[in-house]
């Protein structure tokens, strides 16, 4: 596994690196202290499995840097670990394609489990985002858009489960789960799993 950790604080990067080594002793870990360094590394190093960034690095606006990183490392799982619990930042980073947003207040066990989930193909959404629904009066009847199976899949996706975990939970094959997820995405006009959760929250479906 090849990992890139980007944070302004060297001590935090080193601590996170130790945690990742506990998850995978063979991991190759590179570090960067700002977004500029991240982009330079991505110009010379390729095929990262995981890229972890802090949004608070000051050299480039995080939205611009995020898009540039996403463009240079399309196959990598991109994760935000930040001290900020700003709902707008969380939602926007997830909509831009982050596989998870973990706050620095999270306990080590939560951080470890979140990274395991993400590496397994799931998506970690912080508890602060759950239940961020619009008023029920605006969403009355929206749940009729989805079948019972699609609603069940949506709930499991919202918990951050991977397709394999959802298949086990529902007692079906991963291929069947993919069919349900594709149907779910079409039903609510979402382009990926993360966006589906955010759209569903806005619609009051979860």
Indicate whether 21 and 116 sit together in one domain: yes
DSSP 124: B
pLDDT at 148: 80
Pull the structure tokens for residue 23. 């998850």
Indicate whether 112 and 144 sit together in one domain: no
Domain end, chosen from 102, 129, 156, is at 129
- How many folded domains does the chain comprise? 2
Indicate whether 113 and 183 sit together in one domain: no
Domain end, chosen from 129, 145, 177, is at 129
Q: Tell me which residue has tokens 């949506």.
A: 154
Indicate whether 90 and 6 sit together in one domain: yes
Per-residue pLDDT reduced to its tens digit, 90-101? 888 988 889 889
| CA torsion through residues 128, 168, 175, 47, sign | positive
Per-residue pLDDT reduced to its tens digit, 124-142? 888 777 654 433 333 334 4
Q: Which residues lie across from 32 on neighbouring strands?
A: 6
Q: How far is CA 142 from CA 181, 197, 199, in A?
A: 18, 14, 12
Indicate whether 112 and 149 sit together in one domain: no
CB 54 within 8 A of CB 11: no
Q: How far is CA 114 from CA 29, 153, 180, 194, in A?
A: 18, 20, 24, 15
Domain end, chosen from 98, 129, 160, is at 129
Indicate whether 166 and 144 sit together in one domain: yes
User: Which residue range forms the structural domain that includes residue 85?
Assistant: 2-129
């Amino acid at each position: 596994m090849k990992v890139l950790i980007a944070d302004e604080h060297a001590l935090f990067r080193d601590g996170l690196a130790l945690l990742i080594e506990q998850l995978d002793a063979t991991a190759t870990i590179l570090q960067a202290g700002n977004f500029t360094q991240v982009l330079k590394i991505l110009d010379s190093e390729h095929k990262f499995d995981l890229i972890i960034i802090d949004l608070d690095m000051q050299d480039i606006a995080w939205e611009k840097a995020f898009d540039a990183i996403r463009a240079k490392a399309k196959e990598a799982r991109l994760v935000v670990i930040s001290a900020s619990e700003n709902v707008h930042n969380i939602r926007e980073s997830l909509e831009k394609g982050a596989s998870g947003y973990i706050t620095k207040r999270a306990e080590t066990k939560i951080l470890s489990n979140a990274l395991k989930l993400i590496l397994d193909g799931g998506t970690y959404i912080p508890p602060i985002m759950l239940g961020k629904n619009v008023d029920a009066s605006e969403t009355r009847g929206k749940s009729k858009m989805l079948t019972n199976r699609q609603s069940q899949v949506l709930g499991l996706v919202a918990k951050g489960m991977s397709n394999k975990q959802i298949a086990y939970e529902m007692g079906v094959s991963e291929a069947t789960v993919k069919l349900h997820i594709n149907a779910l995405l079409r039903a609510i006009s979402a382009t990926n799993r993360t966006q589906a959760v955010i759209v569903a929250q806005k619609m009051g479906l979860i």
